[in-house]
Amino acid sequence: MRSSRAAARTAVLLGAVALLAIPAGIVAAQYLNGIALLRALYVAVPAACVLAVVAVACARRARFHAARSLRGGSGSVRAARFFAWAGLYAGITGALALAVYGALRWAQ
């Protein structure tokens, strides 16, 4: 990825997929008979975290390239950072929710 625009697009795409990973797991558990909600979240939450970390790396790359170019591209870089960090926050929140659930189950 040489241009900041390509890195920003990748970061927006990965961040949006990270944001939608947890709701997609919930919908899959609701509509598919063989998938339990907890099992779906065991897959969706780590997937959201990994996708968001990669999106944050792409957003940093986009910001780095935009800072060193003549054109700039601050709008796309700003959107990339927003989606990347929002995906990471969603993944961390889901991981904390699973950790609290696991601690409560262990304490019973």
pLDDT tens-digit profile, the chain (108 residues): 467 788 888 999 999 999 999 999 999 999 999 889 999 999 999 999 999 999 999 999 888 877 776 666 677 888 899 999 999 999 999 999 999 999 999 998
Distances (CA, A) of 65 to 11, 24, 56, 85: 13, 33, 14, 19
Residue 42 has a pLDDT of 94
Angle at which helix 37-67 crosses helix 4-31, to 10 degrees, equals: 170
Per-residue pLDDT at 105: 94
Q: What is the pLDDT of residue 8?
A: 87
Q: What is the pTM assigned to this prediction?
A: 0.87
